[in-house]
């Protein structure tokens, strides 16, 4: 614990999450809708040929105080309707630029709360997408759902609409913790939701999301929640570290007033829930995902094929290039990122005029693609074999070192602090070092300025 305190004092600084490289705060408004259109056309002939669609539904029936997502209070029915029509238009515009022979590997609805709107809209959107592209053999059709609003009839409709992965935002099983966070508990017992989903489609998968670091949580209470979760045997469990970013969402200030857990308690929640999930048969993927041993993410991890994008971990076969729709949504193409406007009014207006709603983005240079690939590889595999990664990036070892501008003094400091260890050309993150894996990734990022408040802290 003494050592941990030393490490926290030294390394618990704001660090990028590296869901993209460069991180989204480097996107620029010099990247226009025309650039995005051009990037879509270019993506037909370079990079992964699979097509992955992300659709953003920003609305929420009630705002949770801790929320760090791009979400907003439920709009009037008329605006929701216009928003869905704009989404359809955006799907049509992007699909016109896409090679229709490319196959769809994934659709992911995130938010906000996709199940806060009439689910018939979601079904219509899926029908539109399926009418445009053939799918790979087992596409992943996923939706993030707030269980407070899920009923049996909804599960039936979503299964009919093609969904085969359901992420349920549980956050905590304690009513007290949820109440302090201004959040409703599940309408139907979570175990019954999981059984219903699997009865409707035996191949369907269920993820449960949790957050540690919320008011009212203790190490014991969070362990109870995680034990209950593991007993339900969902396919995946995710334990998010609460990201406190009140400069993005002022509602989070309520949680400061109620009282957030001490940093040590938060770290204990992470380590003890990780230990517990391991004992209960789950395998840890990356920092915060836990899966059953036969899960495709574990198989991909063992084959060094695990991948990661804005939507989380995925396998190389389901990822594809990501084309994103809706407000604030970020597309991740081989050579460019493009982010849509965050304003619902602007989004609807721009699409009414048949234009793409790009607000900013980034055109990637070759060196940035290589650095991004290396950082993703490192965060997924928790290790780097320098000669292997150089080979993968088609670089000599010397060119790789030049590209990364590594400060070897910092790496040897990470090593002497027990965060990483080296053996025969491989750099590995230790168990305790997982808390600071993003700090180590920052060493491979020549533009990471450090000591800025634009990012959430490592822990």
CB of 75 to ligand SF4, least distance (A): 13
CB of 169 to ligand SF4, least distance (A): 6
Using CB under 6 A as the binding rule, whether residue 370 contacts ligand SF4 is answered as: no
Phi (first) and psi of residue 306, to 5 degrees: -70, 140
Q: Of the two residues 64 and 297, which places its CB atom closer to ligand SF4 in the complex? A: 64
Place of tokens 């480097």: 26
Distance CA(118)–CA(75), nearest Å, equals 12
Using CB under 6 A as the binding rule, whether residue 327 contacts ligand SF4 is answered as: no
The closest alpha carbon to 66, from 447, 458, 456, belongs to 456
Using CB under 6 A as the binding rule, whether residue 63 contacts ligand SF4 is answered as: yes
Distance CA(100)–CA(106), nearest Å, equals 15
Place of tokens 């053999």: 137
Q: Of the two residues 229 and 403, which places its CB atom closer to ligand SAM in the complex? A: 229
DSSP 106: E
DSSP string, 247-275: TT-GGGHHHHHH-PPPHHHHHHHHHHHHH
Using CB under 6 A as the binding rule, whether residue 150 contacts ligand SF4 is answered as: no
Terminal Cα-to-Cα distance of the chain (whole angstroms): 15
Q: Of the two residues 144 and 359, which places its CB atom closer to ligand SAM in the complex? A: 144
Using CB under 6 A as the binding rule, whether residue 111 contacts ligand SF4 is answered as: yes
CB of 68 to ligand SAM, least distance (A): 3
- Contacts (CB under 6 A) with ligand SF4, residues 11-40: none
110 binds, among ligand SAM, ligand SF4, none (CB under 5 to 8 A by kind): ligand SAM
- How many helices (H) does the chain have, and how many strands (E)? 18, 19
Among 147, 169, 234, 312, which residue sits at the site for ligand SF4 (rule: CB under 6 A)? 169
Distances (CA, A) of 425 to 383, 401, 421, 435: 10, 13, 10, 23
- Contacts (CB under 6 A) with ligand SF4, residues 69-88: 69, 71
Using CB under 6 A as the binding rule, whether residue 112 contacts ligand SF4 is answered as: yes
Q: Of the two residues 113 and 126, which places its CB atom closer to ligand SAM in the complex? A: 113
63 binds, among ligand SF4, ligand SAM, none (CB under 5 to 8 A by kind): ligand SF4
CB of 112 to ligand SF4, least distance (A): 5
CB of 369 to ligand SAM, least distance (A): 28
CB of 144 to ligand SAM, least distance (A): 4
Q: Of the two residues 249 and 341, which places its CB atom closer to ligand SAM in the complex? A: 249
The closest alpha carbon to 129, from 174, 78, 90, 158, belongs to 90
Distance CA(83)–CA(428), nearest Å, equals 46
CB of 236 to ligand SAM, least distance (A): 12
DSSP 140: E
Cβ–Cβ contacts within 10 Å for residue 377, how many? 20
Using CB under 6 A as the binding rule, whether residue 440 contacts ligand SF4 is answered as: no
Give SS3 for 171. strand
73 beta partners: 60
Among 64, 348, 374, 403, which residue sits at the site for ligand SF4 (rule: CB under 6 A)? 64
Pairing mode, strands 205-212 and 236-241: parallel
The H or E element spanning position 256 is: helix 253-258
Query: By the criterion CB under 6 A, which residues form the site for ligand SF4?
Result: 60, 63-64, 67, 69, 71, 111-113, 146, 169
């Amino acid at each position: 614990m003494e050592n941990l305190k030393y490490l926290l004092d030294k390394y618990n600084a704001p660090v990028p999450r590296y869901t993209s490289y460069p991180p989204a705060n480097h996107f620029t408004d010099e990247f226009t809708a025309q650039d995005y259109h051009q990037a879509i056309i270019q993506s037909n002939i370079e990079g992964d040929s699979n097509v992955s669609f992300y659709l953003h539904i920003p609305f929420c029936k009630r705002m949770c105080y801790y929320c760090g997502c791009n979400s907003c209070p439920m709009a009037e029915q008329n605006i929701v309707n216009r928003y869905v029509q704009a989404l359809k238009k955006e799907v049509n515009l992007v699909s016109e630029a896409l090679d229709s022979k490319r196959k769809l590997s994934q659709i992911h609805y995130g938010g906000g709360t996709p199940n806060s709107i009439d689910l018939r809209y979601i079904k219509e959107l899926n029908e539109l997408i399926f009418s445009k592209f053939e799918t790979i053999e087992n596409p992943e059709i996923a939706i993030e759902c707030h269980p407070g609003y899920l009923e049996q009839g909804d599960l039936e409709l979503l299964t009919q609409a093609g969904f085969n992965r359901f992420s349920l935002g549980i956050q905590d099983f304690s009513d007290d913790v949820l109440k302090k966070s201004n959040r409703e508990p599940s309408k139907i017992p979570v175990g019954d939701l999981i059984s219903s989903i699997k009865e409707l489609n035996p191949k369907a998968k269920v993820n449960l999301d949790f957050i540690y670091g919320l008011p009212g949580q203790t190490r014991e209470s969070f362990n109870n929640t995680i034990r209950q979760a593991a007993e339900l045997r969902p396919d995946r469990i995710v334990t998010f570290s609460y990201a406190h970013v009140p400069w993005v969402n002022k509602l989070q200030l309520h949680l400061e007033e109620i009282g957030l857990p001490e940093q040590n308690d938060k770290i204990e929640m992470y380590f003890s829930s990780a230990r517990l999930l391991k004992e209960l048969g789950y395998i840890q993927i990356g920092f915060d995902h836990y899966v059953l041993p036969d899960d495709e993410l574990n198989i991909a991890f063992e084959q060094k094929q695990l991948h990661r994008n804005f939507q989380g971990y995925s396998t190389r076969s389901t990822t594809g290039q990501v084309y994103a729709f809706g407000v604030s949504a970020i597309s991740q193409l081989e050579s460019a990122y493009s982010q849509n406007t965050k304003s619902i009014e602007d989004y609807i207006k721009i699409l009414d005029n048949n234009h793409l709603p790009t607000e900013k983005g980034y055109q990637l240079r070759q060196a940035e693609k290589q650095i991004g690939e290396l950082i993703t590889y490192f965060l997924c595999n928790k290790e780097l074999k320098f000669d292997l990664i150089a080979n993968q990036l088609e670089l000599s070892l010397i060119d790789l070192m030049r590209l990364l501008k590594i400060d070897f003094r910092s790496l040897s400091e990470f090593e002497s602090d027990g965060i990483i260890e080296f053996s025969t050309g491989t750099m590995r993150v230790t168990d305790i070092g997982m808390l600071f894996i993003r700090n180590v990734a920052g060493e491979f990022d020549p533009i990471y300025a450090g000591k800025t408040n634009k990012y959430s802290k490592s822990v």
